[in-house]
Amino acid sequence: MFPSHETLKKNFYIPSAGADAAAAPTGANLYARFAFAGAVCCAITHGAMTPVDVVKTRIQLSPEVYNKGMIAGFRQVVAAEGAGALLTGFGPTAAGYFLQGAFKFGGYEFWKKTFIDAIGVDAARENRTAIYLGSSAIAEFFADVALCPLEATRIRLVSQPSFASGLLSGFARILKEEGVIKGFYSGFGPILFKQVPYTMAKFVVYERAAEAIYATMSTPKDQVAPSTATSVNLAAGIIAGTAAAIISQPADTLLSKINKAPGAEGQSVTSRLVQMAGQLGVKGLFLGLGPRIVMVATLTAGQFAIYGDIKRVLGATGGVEISK
């Protein structure tokens, strides 16, 4: 009446714990999942923060107009240009940070594993801060190569709303009128100056903050509930985002300024940066810091929470753990 045990074994596959472990992603498959999780978390968080970034950029570029704080800045933009202006640059923001997130998070995991393999787990654990800093710096360099053209397009659209109707038209116009290097990579120096220290601070502070939080818990890290892990990621992300925003603020201001308009004929990027820094002074370099802390702390917390959740769903749990 019922099929025999042998018939069931022959016709149906029954997974075992050992088979599941054997099927865990490794190598390129694993790092592709890290990269995808990073791409999604960065695209979502940076895209969602577009209105805040619009106001922050306006405060940096036109302090004589937008000089009453973040909330008043929102009102000024809406009153002058309509609510839709708050989404200016959403296309290049989402696209740019999708690419950047893939290189940043995927690259961070790859380089961290590479360094750990090179010196051994025990030595890496004792020197984990240096591992975090080096891995994030290298990953961010390659991420910025992908991000820079789209970030240049975003800033041009925000600073000159009539420049183009969107991502594709703005990208094409810059390429046609200014070329690849001058149009898209004038801000590469500033973006490295901003993003590399920012990312280094972001990852090392996150890793050490999460480690400190887990150390206060009685349950081992690998046994905590998913909701608890997400909460830890959020808390550590807020701490990391605040530190990273402060460290990278001067370069963020210079990046907004240098991408606002083309430089003078024959003027180098370095001379433009030195000139701008001198004109702005210390106070000017930190214009928009309040809104940027709000934006960066929020998006960093969101990134690490989303990144952790997507990795868990994709089964991308094969990273090497060196925290104590």
Residue-level pLDDT, tens digit, the chain, 324 residues: 455 555 544 554 444 444 444 467 888 899 999 999 999 999 999 899 889 888 887 887 788 888 888 889 899 999 988 998 898 888 888 888 899 999 999 999 999 999 999 999 999 999 999 999 999 999 999 999 988 898 888 888 887 888 888 888 999 999 999 999 888 898 788 778 778 989 999 999 999 999 999 999 999 888 899 999 999 999 999 999 999 998 888 877 887 777 666 666 767 777 887 888 888 888 888 877 887 888 789 889 999 999 999 999 999 876 677 887
What's the whole-model pTM score?
Answer: 0.76
What phi-psi label fits residue 179: left (phi over 0), alpha (psi between -120 and 50 degrees) or beta?
Answer: left
CB neighbour list of residue 168: distance below 8 Å, 6 or more residues apart? 91
185 vs 89: CA distance, rounded Å = 18
Terminal C-alpha separation, the chain: 57
Contact 188, 144 (CB under 8 A): yes
10 Å Cβ neighbour count for 230? Answer: 17
| Residue 221 in tokens | 């890290």
Which residue matches tokens 């939080």?
Answer: 213
Contact 46, 306 (CB under 8 A): no
Residue 98's closest CA among 45, 176, 51, 54?
45
244 vs 205: CA distance, rounded Å = 9
| Residue 277 in tokens | 């820094």
288 vs 255: CA distance, rounded Å = 13
